Amino acid sequence: MAIPERVPMREQDPKVRITNFLSVPLGYSADEAVREAKRCLQCKVPLCETGCPVRMDIKDIIHLIADEKFEEAFFLSKKDNAVPAMTGRVCPQEEQCEGKCILEKKDRAINIGKLFAFVADWAREIDLVNESKPEENGKKIAIVGSGPASITCAVDLRKLGYQVTIFEALHMAGGVLQYGIPPFRLPRDVVDYELSYLEKIGVNIQLNQIVGQNVEFEELKKEYDAIYIATGAGAPRFLNCEGEKLKGVYSANEFLIRVNLMKAYQFPNWDTPIVCGDKVGVIGCGNVALDAARCAKRLGADSVRIFYRRTKEFAPAREEELKHAEEENISCEKMLSPTRVLGNDDGWITGIELVTTKFVGEDKSGRPKPINVEGLKFEVKLDTLIIALGTTPNRLFLSNVPELDTYSWGGIKADENFMTNIPGVFVGGDALSGGSTVIAAMGDGRDAAEAIIKYLNK
Amino acid sequence: MKHTITRKEDLNAADYVIDVIAPKVAEKFKPGNFAVLLTIPNGERIPMSIEKAEDGKITMFIKKLGKTSRELDAWKVGDSFFKIIGPMGTAPALKKFGTVVFASDLVCGHAENNAMCRELKKINGNHVISIQSFPTKKDVYPEKERSKQYADEYILATGDGSMGRKGDMLDVLQEMLEERKIDMIFAGGDIPALQKLSKLTKKYNVPTMTTVRQIMVDATGMCGSCRVFVDGKQKLACIDGPMFDGHKVDWEAAISRLAMFKGKEAEAMECYNEKMKEVV
């Protein structure tokens, strides 16, 4: 039997969407979702589920969607995933569930991400509430940070009656979902809705609380039965080259925090400004680099060029993001590495000096290792440079809790049960692994919740 | 938590003082720390020096400079901030220095001057000298808001000599360094003046810690906007500072980076003025 073609996802036209910050995919209609779900072969051994870091019942959920049982599908997805509307949008499905889908070999995998986003959006529109407050078990857990790892850990523990308090340093909860991922990829009404679920089930979120700074870690240790640290990897990496101090040079973090958290794209109605020139360069080719590049385009930049030291096929960015960026006329220039930033007498950036790279052997990640080719240097004129070379764990928390064992790169050490050198103190997400994805952090959160429960009930 | 203003008084034509309820910030504050203010939900996260923390309240000196500080100037006692976050930053370790000076020439510096002198005085063996300079007599703060009461010696200077000594903090300091032995200098205020001050004290080889005011966004070490180059190394004013060894700071970069959003600040101001016209 011939399998029908993947139901295409309707998207905002590239010419229109570069003038706004609204979602690029428009989402499946109920009819489209059912048609897409019906493509599923309902494999006896659903490989898709083996690719899911939070182990969702993907096969059954798709079956329910095909049967138009959206409510049941929503509850089943919510069982293993606290925030399905978000993961449906930002997971790298092509490397996970969809990557394992048997149909991917023949044609195109089931669009699992968009199906799950559809179900979650459908539930949001009718304000479907699926949780009552659980029976309290009297145990108290403190969670530091409110990003994806924390959200998952909090929900899993709360469902079993643990009293959970989240401490967030910023004035809004969500971590990278709030400050990092732009609204055209993850609309803020979706973030707000998913976070409101935490409050509905009785998770206490304390904003503006910087553990180690205005809340003592010792106080938490005394007051709580266990602590989960998921402070993420919030500190930007710079090039450490000449000219980085120039005006017009941003870390991707700064660029994205201004745009996403502080809504600089709505300046002056929102107070935080951003200066984005006509000619923008972005260093790096991960999702963060692409997010920043696409924000720059939406802020009105004429030309946005990504400079990457490898080739696109080795880029950490998601396929969908690369495609979207290309449609938005963002160029990705390969085998180039910056050597210095050029500036004028007023201290503003005027350009960048790049050097051609070549591959020599492999690095630790198994990808070809780029090295600079001496002598092959040239200059590119720029008036804004965004450095997106990844992030490291935030020093602020670590410097205030010196008794935690850490690696030299700033990650917190843990045993196989995610417990740090301090009994009852667990760690997860990017604070443990360095830099990863939203869903991997959620998987960490789930595993940590299990470990915490085991620890408290041994 | 409602961050309500409990006192608001003018310091001079441009500066004012406010007391705001912020128990969490007040409880953990150490001189050298600062607070982050969000006036309204769509406001900016603005770093602000703290003059005093007492009875669950913090005191701040604010200059009517940009859009937010002007907007805030229209607020009255009883009005509340959307958020006040902190204390932020690393407070310098204070100890027995011997003869120690705090010099300031600008609103935030004057706030830091008060906070620091108060604390330095508590440590046995410190002889605390406070220097405050203002452009002219009418700019001089009321006596109860000046550091005179906290220091062993107090020198007031005005640029035109209309009150106290003639000159600025640099003139006073230069003379002092010529005449007597100073063990430690702290300073806060105008960034170009602090550059000159650091150059001066280096000549006399007196250790100098200065506040390096920079533009911040999250102020928790995430964005790198406030990067300062100290002894060739990149530091963040929000978490490593804002006080750094003045002899080692790359002042040119610090001064230059402060101007990055000048154009946007003017635009915000213009927009605010337009709005105010409509209100009137």
> Which letter does DSSP use for residue B33 in this model?
B
- Domain containing A349 — which CATH number? 3.50.50.60
Contact residues, chain A, for B253 at CB < 8 Å: 245, 347
* H/E stretch holding A333: strand A330-333
| pLDDT value for A91 | 85
By Cβ distance, the residue of B85, B220, B267 closest to A396 is B220
Task: Report CB contact under 8 Å: B42, A270.
Answer: yes
> Which letter does DSSP use for residue A108 in this model?
-
Residue A134 lies in a domain: no
Stretch A426-442: mean pLDDT:
84
Quick one: A79 and A176 in the same domain?
no
Task: Report CB contact under 8 Å: A267, B85.
Answer: no
Quick one: A120 and A172 in the same domain?
no
B128 forms bridges with which residues in the sheet?
B100
- B260 close contact with A: CB closer than 8 A: yes
Q: In Å, how far from its chain's centre is CA B62?
A: 9
Torsion of CA B90, B96, B100, B105, to 10 degrees: 20
Residues B73-118: tens digit of each pLDDT: 889 999 999 999 999 999 999 999 999 999 999 999 999 999 999 9
pLDDT at A131 over 70: no
Quick one: A366 and A418 in the same domain?
no
Q: Nearest chain A Cα to B254, which residue?
A: A245
Query: Cα–Cα distances in Å, from A125 out to A61, A86, A120, A303?
Result: 19, 15, 9, 38
**Single-letter residue type at B187:** A
Which are the contacts of A81, defined by CB distance < 8 A and separation ≥ 6?
A54, A56, A87, A116, A152, A442
* Residue of B217, B256, B258, B262 to mutate, testing the A interface (most A Cβ within 10 Å of its Cβ): B217
Task: Report CB contact under 8 Å: A258, B25.
Answer: no
Task: Report CB contact under 8 Å: A234, B220.
Answer: yes
Quick one: A250 and A385 in the same domain?
yes
Quick one: A420 and A385 in the same domain?
no
Task: Report CB contact under 8 Å: A247, B257.
Answer: yes
* H/E stretch holding B175: helix B169-179
Q: How far apart are the first and last CA of chain A?
A: 53
| pLDDT value for A146 | 95
Q: In Å, how far from its chain's centre is CA B222?
A: 22
Stretch A26-47: mean pLDDT:
94
Task: Report CB contact under 8 Å: A213, B87.
Answer: yes
Task: Report CB contact under 8 Å: B223, A272.
Answer: no
**All domains of chain B, ordered by start, with CATH?**
3-88 (2.40.30.10), 92-201 (3.40.50.80), 212-280 (no CATH)
By Cβ distance, the residue of A214, A238, A275 closest to B234 is A238
Quick one: A247 and A369 in the same domain?
yes
CA distance A201 to A268: 37
| pLDDT value for A119 | 96
Q: In Å, how far from its chain's centre is CA A309?
A: 23
Confidence of residue A130 (pLDDT cuts 50, 70, 90): low
B101 forms bridges with which residues in the sheet?
B129, B185
Of A125, A152, A169, which one is at a domain's C-terminal end? A125
- Domain of A147, in residue numbers: 140-234+393-456
Contact residues, chain A, for B263 at CB < 8 Å: 275
By Cβ distance, the residue of B28, B253, B256 closest to A214 is B28
With beta carbons less than 8 A apart as the criterion, state whether B155 and B146 touch: no
Quick one: A420 and A381 in the same domain?
no
CA distance A186 to A184: 6
Stretch B159-173: mean pLDDT:
94
| pLDDT value for A16 | 94
Residue A243 lies in a domain: yes
Contact residues, chain A, for B24 at CB < 8 Å: 208, 214
| pLDDT value for A397 | 85
pTM over 0.80: yes
Task: Report CB contact under 8 Å: A240, B43.
Answer: no
Q: Which residue has the tokens 């083996």?
A: A50
| pLDDT value for B271 | 82
By Cβ distance, the residue of B42, B88, B272 closest to A263 is B42
CA distance A108 to B166: 80
CA distance B225 to A402: 26
Confidence of residue B147 (pLDDT cuts 50, 70, 90): very high
Q: Which residue has the tokens 């745009």?
A: A259
Residues B224-279: tens digit of each pLDDT: 999 999 999 999 999 999 999 999 999 999 999 999 988 888 888 888 888 777 76
Quick one: A176 and A316 in the same domain?
no
Quick one: A253 and A359 in the same domain?
yes
pLDDT at B6 over 60: yes
| pLDDT value for B274 | 81
Of A125, A159, A175, which one is at a domain's C-terminal end? A125
| pLDDT value for A381 | 97
Average pLDDT of the residues of chain B:
93
Other beta carbons less than 10 A from residue A228's beta carbon = 30
Residues A299-350: tens digit of each pLDDT: 999 999 999 999 988 998 988 889 999 999 999 999 999 999 999 999 999 9
Residue A71 lies in a domain: yes
| pLDDT value for A45 | 92
CA distance A110 to A62: 9
- The predicted complex's ipTM stands at 0.92
Residue A272 lies in a domain: yes
Residue A436 lies in a domain: yes
| pLDDT value for B3 | 95
Weakest-pLDDT range from A327-331, A392-396, B137-141? A392-396
- Domain containing A28 — which CATH number? 1.10.1060.10
pLDDT at A285 over 80: yes
pLDDT at B280 over 70: no
Residues A137-177: tens digit of each pLDDT: 999 999 999 999 999 999 999 989 999 999 999 999 999 99
Residue A410 lies in a domain: yes
Task: Report CB contact under 8 Å: B217, A271.
Answer: no
Task: Report CB contact under 8 Å: A171, B253.
Answer: no
Weakest-pLDDT range from A12-21, A228-237, B141-150? A228-237
Task: Report CB contact under 8 Å: B25, A261.
Answer: no
Contact residues, chain B, for A394 at CB < 8 Å: 220-222
pLDDT at B60 over 60: yes
Which among A33, A60, A29, A36 has a CA at the least distance from the CA of A46?
A: A60
pLDDT at B128 over 70: yes
Residues A208-257: tens digit of each pLDDT: 999 988 898 999 999 999 999 999 888 899 998 999 999 999 999 999 99
Quick one: A175 and A287 in the same domain?
no
- B208 close contact with A: CB closer than 8 A: no
Other beta carbons less than 10 A from residue A165's beta carbon = 18
Give the closest-approach CA distance of B272 to chain A in angstroms.
9
Quick one: A288 and A341 in the same domain?
yes
Number of domains in chain A: 3
Residue A2 lies in a domain: no
| pLDDT value for B279 | 62
Average pLDDT of the residues of chain A:
91
* Residue of B84, B223, B234, B252 to mutate, testing the A interface (most A Cβ within 10 Å of its Cβ): B223
A412 forms bridges with which residues in the sheet?
A406
Task: Report CB contact under 8 Å: A275, B24.
Answer: no
Residue A247 lies in a domain: yes
Query: Which residues of B, range 24-53, sit inside 8 Å of A by Cβ?
Result: 24-25, 27-28, 38, 42-45
Task: Report CB contact under 8 Å: B217, A270.
Answer: no
Quick one: A119 and A266 in the same domain?
no
Token pair listed for A84 = 């399905």
**Single-letter residue type at A422:** I
